[in-house]
Amino acid sequence: MPDMDYRKEPEKISQLTPDQYKVTQEAATEPAFRNEFWDNRDAGLYVDIVSGEPLFASINKFNSGTGWPSFTVPIDRDNIVLNKDNSHGMVRTEVRSKHGESHLGHLFDDGPIDQGGLRYCINSAALRFVPVDQLQASGYGQFRDLFASDVAS
């Protein structure tokens, strides 16, 4: 993957909606089943709303029944940071973006067994969706091959 310049910039933070800010900067959780991407079935790439770094692909998204977008693996583990989270009276693993430093959601071990058993439970408010047909124009053309079976030649 080419070395892109993904980072957290004050200008991007100032453009976030109140919900996006609460989720990414204050580690809030958006409501289940009332968020933009929980039921999105379109082919494409999910990137950090702050930095634009590529995080997840629709090919690794599954319906967990939880009401949040759920993925089995990130596109590039180097763009993900895992932290111990002791909030809310439980021990969880927080998922953050490396370059954007955005709170994304949490990692659980109740994902599809045949795909590794992990569930990256991610807040829609932390993501921007780039449809397959817009990957090239949006600077993510190198990921188009991930969707070869979803895209007509």
How far apart are the C-alpha atoms of 45 and 79, rounded to whole Å?
14
How far apart are the C-alpha atoms of 134 and 151, rounded to whole Å?
12
Catalytic residue among 49, 121, 130, 135: 121
pLDDT band for 150, please (50, 70, 90 cuts).
Answer: low
Q: For residue range 96-124, what is the model confidence (pLDDT) as tens digits?
A: 999 999 999 999 999 999 999 999 999 99
In contact, 70 and 61? CB cutoff 8 Å: yes
pTM: 0.92
121 is catalytic: yes
What does the pLDDT average to over 78-83?
95
Please list, in sequence order, all residues whose beta carbon lies within 8 angstroms of the beta carbon of residue 30, skipping any fewer than 6 positions away: 19, 23, 68, 123, 124, 125
Domain ranges in the chain? 10-131
Please check whether the domain covering 10-131 is classified as CATH 4.10.410.60: no
Q: For residue range 30-67, what is the model confidence (pLDDT) as tens digits?
A: 999 999 999 999 999 999 999 999 999 999 999 999 99
